[in-house]
Amino acid sequence: MLTIPIVAGAGMSAVFITTVNGFMNQPEGFVMEAGQFMAVNPVQAMLNTATFSKVFHVLSSAYLTGAALLAGIAAFAMLRKGVSAYHKKGLNLMMAVVLVFSLLNSLAGDVSAKFLAEHQPEKLAAAEWHFETESGADLIFLGWLNAEHEIIGALHLPKLLSFLAFGDFNAEVTGLNEFPPDEHPPLLVHYLFDLMAGIGFALLAISSLYFLFVFWKKRNQFNKWMLRMVALSAPLAFLAVEMGWFYAEIGRQPWIIRGYMRVEEAATSSPSVRILFFVFLLLYIVLGVICVLVLRRLFNNNPAELEMEKWLEQKHDQSAKKGDQA
């Protein structure tokens, strides 16, 4: 019963954090006069144009990752200890959540790309190594750049960048060369974007295959290869979240507040930063260790598998009694 308020509470916290990040990308709700932020409207600043796409993408990817972690733990346990009723139930439930949130997350990624195409075109252009403004632009997957900024060895998906950016295969997509060179984000964001989106489609494929096996009775969704892929989904989802944040933050460079304040202007020279870093590091290590100890005690003293077996036995006895009475 506690799960719903915890999940909702964590969601609210993510919403507030993400609105701040939205403001850094799309600063709104103030007037700039003589280098000063004036007439600040905090609500407008929070509900800026970036808020919707960011909150949608962050929440859907967080719930997707949580479900992938739980599914991965169940799959890993089944690979090690064999298939049990408890893990089967858990895996089926979590894979349903992974499937739903993979779909929602891909939709949110699409909304985010469309936001970038309109409001932060240099970030999308850097991710796609899209240098010249062009209609019917290709989506570039992987590859590398030579000294002349020519793309080598990449997979070109015809006109797909135009479609991703504007939902139209022939739309014009702004190239990076339209922006002053000192405002270009680092080009390595290409790999971060590809890895994030690639993992997104892999998670969608794995969860779709899982349910294909569930409904196609000739196949077993608990076969070793399926379980291995599900177990791998957990670290992959975490990696995608990290790649997503690195892309969002490195892709905003050189700005901390896009168009108003550069990172070097905001960076603090306070000597206390290092001490604070270690204090926080220590705090998180202590919290992490306590969390692991508490969970281990909780589950070692009361294994969930046993609880589930007892519950199944009880149900079995009850229905047997009902049968005798009838």
Residues that bind ligand HEM (CB under 6 A): 25, 50, 54, 57-58, 61, 64-65, 105-106, 109-110, 112-113, 115-116, 123, 196-197, 199-201, 237, 240-241, 244-245, 247-248, 251
Question: Which of 213, 245 has the CB closer to ligand HEM?
Answer: 245
d(CA 187, CA 147): 13
Using a 10 angstrom Cβ sphere, with 0-12 exposed, 13-18 middle and 19 or more buried, the burial of residue 154 is middle
Question: Which of 191, 305 has the CB closer to ligand HEM?
Answer: 191
Tell me the closest approach of the beta carbon of residue 166 to ligand HEM, in angstroms.
13
d(CA 318, CA 326): 13
d(CA 24, CA 119): 13
List % helix, strand, coil for the chain (3-state, nearest 5).
70, 10, 25
Tell me the closest approach of the beta carbon of residue 18 to ligand HEM, in angstroms.
7
Quick count: other Cβ atoms within 10 Å of Cβ 88? 15
Q: At residue 11, what is the residue type?
A: G
Tell me the closest approach of the beta carbon of residue 120 to ligand HEM, in angstroms.
7
Tell me the closest approach of the beta carbon of residue 211 to ligand HEM, in angstroms.
18
Question: Which of 68, 226 has the CB closer to ligand HEM?
Answer: 68
E strands in the chain: 31-33, 36-38, 134-135, 139-141, 144-145, 151-152, 155-157, 172-173, 255-257, 261-262
- Which residue number is nearest to ligand HEM in terms of Cβ? 244
Q: List Cβ neighbours of 30 (8 Å cut-off, separation of 6 or more).
A: 37, 38, 39, 40, 41, 45
Question: Which of 90, 251 has the CB closer to ligand HEM?
Answer: 251
d(CA 301, CA 295): 10
Question: Which of 78, 125 has the CB closer to ligand HEM?
Answer: 125
d(CA 26, CA 252): 10
Tell me the closest approach of the beta carbon of residue 68 to ligand HEM, in angstroms.
8
Tell me the closest approach of the beta carbon of residue 106 to ligand HEM, in angstroms.
4
Identify any residues that bridge with 33 across adjacent strands, giving them in sequence order.
Answer: 36
Question: Which of 75, 197 has the CB closer to ligand HEM?
Answer: 197
Tell me the closest approach of the beta carbon of residue 227 to ligand HEM, in angstroms.
20
Question: Which of 123, 190 has the CB closer to ligand HEM?
Answer: 123
